[in-house]
Amino acid sequence: MKKIFSLFWRNKNRWLIYSALILITLLNLLPIALTALVSFKSQEDVIRTPPVLFPCDTPTQSFDLNACRWSLEGYERVLAPRPSPDSPFGFELTGTMIATYGLNTVLYATLSSLLVVLLAATSGYAFSRYRFRGHRALLTAIIAITGVPFLTNLLALYQMGVTIRTVGLPYDDRLFIIIVYVGFFLPLSVWIAKGFFDAIPRDLEDAALIDGCSSLQSLFYIMIPLTRPAMIAIFMLTFVGVWNEFIAGYLLISKNSNKPIMFGFFDFLGQSRINLQVVAAASVIIALPVVILFLFFRRSFFMAMVEGSVKG
C-alpha cells in the first residue's frame, strides 16, 4: 500500500491531468450519449413517467437485456425511406431534411472549403515569400477582419442580395452564399497557411526553381504537399463551420429549396417538438458526417494544430 501511495505521489501531476481530462471528456460525452439513447427509443418510452435511461425494464425487473425495446421510429421519420426499383440499394431517402437540405449543405461546405484552401494556399504563399508595399498593413487588416462577428455583416450582405435581385443582375442563391462563406473563413485560413509556409526553408523552393519549376509549380508540387496537415486543417475548419452555420443560410437564401440543413432542422424542430426521439435522431444524423470527417482526418488535423502553435 505504501509503495502504491509513493508511486501515486511521485506522479501526482500526471494523475491529476489524466483525471481532469477523463472528467472533461465524460462531461462532454454525456449529452451526446443521452441524445443517441433517446433517438433509439419509441414515443412511449420517451414520455414515460418516471423516465428510464434504458428501455429494458419489465414488470418484474428494472433491467432485462432480452426485453430491450429499441426503436428506429425517429430515424424512419427523418429519413423517410421508400422502396425504389431504380435505386441500387432498392430504396431511396425521401426525407426533406436529408434529400434536399442535406445535399445543399454538402454542396456549400465542400465547394467553400475547397475554394478557401486554394485561396489560402496562394495568399499565404504570397505573404510568406514576397515583400511588397502594404505587406504588413494588409496582413494586419486581414487578421482584424477575423475579429469582426459574422452577424455584424449580415445586414449589409442581405441588403446586397436584395439590391442585386432588384436591379436585375444575374443572381443565384447558392453562388452568393458560397462567396459569403469563403469571405468569412478565408482571413484566418490565410494566417494559418502563412505560418506553415514561413516554416519551410527557402532552399527547397530555390532548388525547385533551379530545376526549371515556375513559382506556381513550386507552390503546387513542393510547398503545398509539405503543408498538407495545414491544408487539411483549413478544409476541416471551413467544412465544419459551414455545416453548422444557420443564420446566414436562413437570411441570405431566398428559396427554401436552396437552404442548408440547419434550416431544415429548425423547420423540422417546429413540426416535431413533442417527438423528442425524432429530434434526437435528426441531431445524430446531422452530427454524424462531421464526426466521421474528424475521425478520418484526426491525425493530420491535430498535427496541424500542434505544429501551427509552435511554428506560428
- From the first residue on, what is the mean pLDDT of each consecutive set of 10 residues in the chain (312 residues)? 58 77 91 90 82 80 80 85 78 80 92 95 88 86 84 87 84 91 92 87 81 80 84 91 90 88 82 76 90 82 59 44
State how far the Cα of 162 lies from the Cα of 277, in Å rounded to an integer.
Answer: 39
Phi first, then psi, for residue 93 (nearest 5°) are: -90, 115
* Angle, alpha carbons 268-176-114 (nearest 5°): 90
Correct CATH for 98-263+289-310 of 2.60.120.280, 3.40.50.170, 3.40.30.10, 1.10.3720.10? 1.10.3720.10
pLDDT at 9: 57
pLDDT at 176: 92
pLDDT at 309: 42
Is residue 89 within 8 A of residue 159, CB to CB? The reply is: no
Residue with cell 443517441: 36
- Please give the C-alpha separations between residue 234 and each of 120, 142, 184, 191, 208, in angstroms, as whole numbers: 8, 16, 13, 10, 25
Total-model pTM: 0.85
State how far the Cα of 49 lies from the Cα of 52, in Å rounded to an integer.
Answer: 8
Domain ranges of the chain: 98-263+289-310
State how far the Cα of 125 lies from the Cα of 197, in Å rounded to an integer.
Answer: 6
Q: Where are the beta strands (DSSP E) in the chain?
A: 81-83, 91-93
pLDDT at 310: 41
State how far the Cα of 250 lies from the Cα of 254, in Å rounded to an integer.
Answer: 8
pLDDT at 118: 94
